[in-house]
Structure 1
Amino acid sequence: MIQITPHMKILLSVEPVDFRKGIDGMAALCRKVLKSDPFSGCLFVFLNRRRTAIKILSYDGQGFWLCQKRLSKGRFNWWPTKGQGVDKPLDAHELQMLIWNGDPFHTQAAPMWRKIPA
């Protein structure tokens, strides 16, 4: 099981992808499109063209995890626009909101804690 923690790096792919791809195809997208190393431990989030499903790819040190959520009804309401680059970083609570088909940037969550420099 993938545990999403606040210190994880999460990258959301802006462009929809072909969900016939498996782990190797998604890892290739990470390298070619997102210019990121799929072995980095980062969570990579992808959307299908119909906006009915998301896939999350992650490497845990031993192997890859590929998780998919398909909505039983409707489409994912929020996704970044193409003018914002090829990827968008997310925080852990924003990904949780996205998984539940919410808008991660219009929620009322506590601000991220930052250590105050001495």
Structure 2
Amino acid sequence: MIAPSNTYKIYLATSPVDFRKGMDGLASYIVSNFELDPFSGAFFVFRSKGRDKMKVLMWDGTGLVLIYKRIEGAGFVWPKLNEGNLSLTKSQFEALFEGLDWRRVESATYHRPTVA
């Protein structure tokens, strides 16, 4: 899997998209619905009408990359349906991608030591 680093932004579309859309259709969806740049290097996560499919679109600097995943079993854990998007942390994205409940993932806060 292509995993984002901690510096990448990760956006999750909270309403389902038409899964017949390819790279260009999803890029257009990002511009028109989120007013974001699909070529920014951010990861954009889309859900199908069912709970079992996800698409991830990102720009790697040389071209668009589309990841399609269908999960077996109970499906992915998605937020409640509404318009718009929400941001995920890297840890939340990794949990979602594995089919875990990403809402239970908390980011650890690291503090720089004051004395070495």
Taking the TM superposition and a 5 Å limit, the aligned residue runs for 1:9-28 are 9-28=9-28
> Unpaired segments of 5 or more residues in structure 1?
none
Q: Does 1:113 align with 2:114?
A: no
**1:79 counterpart letter in structure 2:** W
Kindly state the Cα deviation for residue 65 of structure 1 after the two structures are TM-superposed. 0.2
Kindly state the Cα deviation for residue 103 of structure 1 after the two structures are TM-superposed. 1.3
The answer to whether the 8 A contact 2:91-2:107 is kept is: no
Q: Which residue of 81, 95, 98 maps to 1:97?
A: 95
Structure 1 residues 65-109: Cα deviation after superposition (integer angstroms, max 9, x where no partner): 000110133322x212245x50010010100000111111213x5
Aligned length: 113
Paired position in structure 1 for 2:80: 81
Kindly state the Cα deviation for residue 113 of structure 1 after the two structures are TM-superposed. 3.2
Counterpart Cα distance in 2 of 1:115 and 1:97: 27
> Structure 1 length normalisation: TM-score?
0.85
Counterpart Cα distance in 1 of 2:71 and 2:97: 10
The answer to whether the 8 A contact 1:41-1:60 is kept is: yes
The root-mean-square deviation of aligned C-alpha atoms, in Å, is: 1.9
Name the SS of the counterpart of 1:40 in structure 2: coil
> Unpaired segments of 5 or more residues in structure 2?
none
Counterpart Cα distance in 1 of 2:111 and 2:16: 33
**1:81 counterpart letter in structure 2:** K
Counterpart Cα distance in 2 of 1:68 and 1:114: 37
Highest CA radius of gyration, 1 or 2?
A: 2
The answer to whether the 8 A contact 1:80-1:88 is kept is: no
Kindly state the Cα deviation for residue 110 of structure 1 after the two structures are TM-superposed. 5.3
Counterpart Cα distance in 2 of 1:24 and 1:114: 41
Taking the TM superposition and a 5 Å limit, the aligned residue runs for 1:46-85 are 46-76=46-76, 78-83=77-82
> Structure 2 length normalisation: TM-score?
0.87
